[in-house]
Amino acid sequence: MLYAIGLRRTFDTFIYFNSVVKNMTKIFVGVIIEESLEKKSVLKKVKIIKTKIKKVTEKHKTPWIKQWTLHTVEIPENRSESIAKDLSKSLDSQHEWYADFKNKTHHYIIFRNKIFFIDRRSKEQYDQAKNYGISLGIPEYQVDFHPDIKEWKQ
């Protein structure tokens, strides 16, 4: 009887982890900086799973604000494209920002009025997004979505 219970637990665990792995490709996760948004209503369309506030320093290159409110968000795959479009229209028009979210296979990198939908295996697609961000004046160390750049400390 204990053997059967052990098998059942193992089977249930397998089903759970299999579901989690499948959902990793269906759920996008990213960070949206609240202060980067002109229209904050887009935050009501995503699931905020964590929020942290960082005091702005000179390194951030955003002296017009005192803090960054970083919302870690989840976005279902079936809503990812529409959320990306909403975000692109919602970003601050006076300053250059980007937002991004990714799943296991794809990565949205979103600028005001420009969206990159990247195959995460494509260095060339990442290079295009990185170069676009730099052309806008975003510091190179902040385009940390690129696979060749270690994540910068905020």
Q: Judge contact between 143 and 134, C-beta under 8 A.
A: yes
Domain with 105, as residue range(s), is 27-142
Which residue shows structure tokens 């190179």? 140
pTM for the complete prediction? 0.77
Neighbours of 5 (CB within 10 A): 9
pLDDT per residue as tens digits for the range 2-43: 445 545 554 444 444 444 444 555 899 999 999 999 999 999
Does some domain include residue 135? yes
Does some domain include residue 56? yes
- Read off the pLDDT band of 147 (50, 70, 90): low
Q: For the residues 81-107, what does the mean pLDDT come to? A: 95
Does some domain include residue 62? yes
Does some domain include residue 64? yes
Does some domain include residue 19? no
Does some domain include residue 137? yes
pLDDT score, position 144: 72
Does some domain include residue 42? yes
- Which amino acid is present at 47? K
Does some domain include residue 9? no
Tell me how many domains the chain contains. 1
